[in-house]
Amino acid sequence: MNDAREIGFVIFGTTGDLTRRKLLPALYQLASEERIPEKIRIIGFARRPWTNSDLKQNLKQGIQEYARVKPVDREKIDALLENAIYVQGEFEKPEGYETLFEVLKKEGIRDRLYYLATPPSAYGDIIDNLNQCKNAVISKKPGWTRIVVEKPFGRDSESAGILDEKLHQCFREEQIFRIDHYLGKETVQNILVFRFANGIFEPLWNSHYIDSVQITVAETVGVETRAGYFDHAGIIRDMFANHMLQMLTLTAMEAPYAFNAFSVRDEKLKVLKSLRPLEGRLALENTFRAQYGSGLIDQEPVKGYLEEERVNHDSTTETYLAIKLFIDNWRWSGVPFYLRCGKRLKKRSTEIAIQFKQVPLSLFNWRNLAGDAPNILKLRLQPDEGINLSFGAKTPGPVNEISPVQMDFCYEDAFGSEPPEAYERLLLDCMLGDATLFTRSDEALTQWEFTTKIMDAWADHPIKRIPVYKPGSWGPQEADAFIEKDGRKWLNPD
């Protein structure tokens, strides 16, 4: 029996990629910075017939390969993995869970964090089996129990509702941590700091001064090894229903009464509730889908989506999506938000661009190279994290001309280092019990409610031919037409 408090970090699906690539490197980083509040005991649970030493060996390799800061400190890795335990079990059968609880009891581990790092199809079985054993979910005092659920949290309103109900049969909402890794990104959190720790931006942050907002998540990668999952999900489930909507809420929400899990999430929820529903024809008119063809990325030939392994040969699943939406509340009434995300685009870049309105009266009848509405504030979330404001300035010399110029803040220059990995912050927060950066039940369900209406409209009017775009482009021409019909242009990352 152990007297010192220890967190039992139980990873279901510990033999998978997420554990090696993300979870362990993040835990190692936290441990080496001595940020973890208690000792930590890693307990891996999966099907493969591994031993404790197989587990340690595998996790060690994962850390060595994927650690953010290199070279790694071998002693710290060994200390983190020293007492790691492997429990073999089938997710659907009770035996493995019985062994797991015996181990937890024998080791005197009362603070328990269950991490679902399995394919989502196993979530139901794991939760049911945890629920069978009441001692698994209700910890004896002193001690706490939490569960971390990876995305995707369901695939539509109905399945998310079922999963949520199942979770609530065993856990109280404060015990449930739904991960959206975008919220762990330093620059995503900085949206709130930028808005609410500075006095000068917020008075302008509304429909009186803002013409439109664009949120772009562009990736150069394709669907990689996940084509089987992606072909049934599409980018709407993979990116839009979670990461994109979360960034929208942070951009649009009101100031919370305090920076805590209740208040921040209450405000985010209000934004989601204010979204004008996109149903039927409205959904078709305000969304645009496309799929990548074959071509070149960085001079290297890449397959088209339809040639990817495990993609249906006549699939119309979208790898690019643009959506125009409105937030029907006082602050944002009439301001269009254009959200777009895509794979195999020109550049990896996540940006929020705030386009300010024109001046009320144009005084300078000069050559204006900055355009009529030159004020664009860009929050660059990744890579090359920073913030940029563009405005018009008089071109030097005896000429009547206005040029576009930039004020630029770059994270790395200002702070001397790149921001940490999202998982570091998120894992630390769930060990500390702070759910501010996790999606609450009502948020997750409202995100699905909005998204499912769009998917229903698509299902009712199946697309016959999905536009195809060249890898390394900003999408097909029709994507430009989608926004140009409103007299606006995509503000592409530089």
Residues that bind ligand BG6 (CB under 6 A): 151, 219, 238
- 181, 232, 243, 313: the catalytic one is 243
- Residue 224 C-beta: closest distance to ligand BG6, Å: 8
Separation of first and last alpha carbons in the chain: 58
Closest to ligand BG6 by CB, 145 or 349: 349
In whole angstroms, the minimum distance from the beta carbon of 430 to ligand BG6 comes to 18
Q: How far is the CB of 132 from ligand BG6 (least distance, A)?
A: 31
> Between residues 157 and 382, which has the closer beta carbon with respect to ligand BG6?
382
β-pairing, 320-326 vs 287-292, is antiparallel
Which residues partner with 39 through β-bridges?
Answer: 6
CA nearest neighbour of 346 among 473, 470, 224: 473
CA distance 42 to 24: 9
Residue 128, phi then psi, degrees to nearest 5? -60, -45
Measured torsion, CA atoms of residues 263, 264, 269, 275, in degrees rounded to the nearest 10:
130
Query: Helix 123-132 to helix 157-170 angle, to the nearest 10 degrees?
Result: 20
Tabulate helix, strand, coil % of the chain (nearest 5): 40, 20, 35
Contacts with 308 (C-beta within 8 Å, 6 or more apart), sequence order: 222, 223, 227
Is 181 marked active-site?
A: no
- Judged by beta carbon, residue 219 or residue 254, the one nearer ligand BG6 is 219
Measured from the CB of residue 192, what is the shortest distance to ligand BG6 in angstroms?
A: 19
CB contact at 8 A, 113 and 42: no
The least CB distance from residue 235 to ligand BG6, in Å, is: 8
- Integer Cα distance of 394 and 400 in angstroms: 8
> What backbone torsions phi and psi does residue 403 show, to the nearest 5 degrees?
-115, 150
Min separation Cβ 343 and ligand BG6, Å? 7
Q: Which is nearer to ligand BG6, 81 or 250 (CB)?
A: 250
Structure tokens at 490: 């995509």
Cα 302 off chain centre by: 26
| Three-class DSSP category at 373 | coil
Name the residues annotated as catalytic: 243
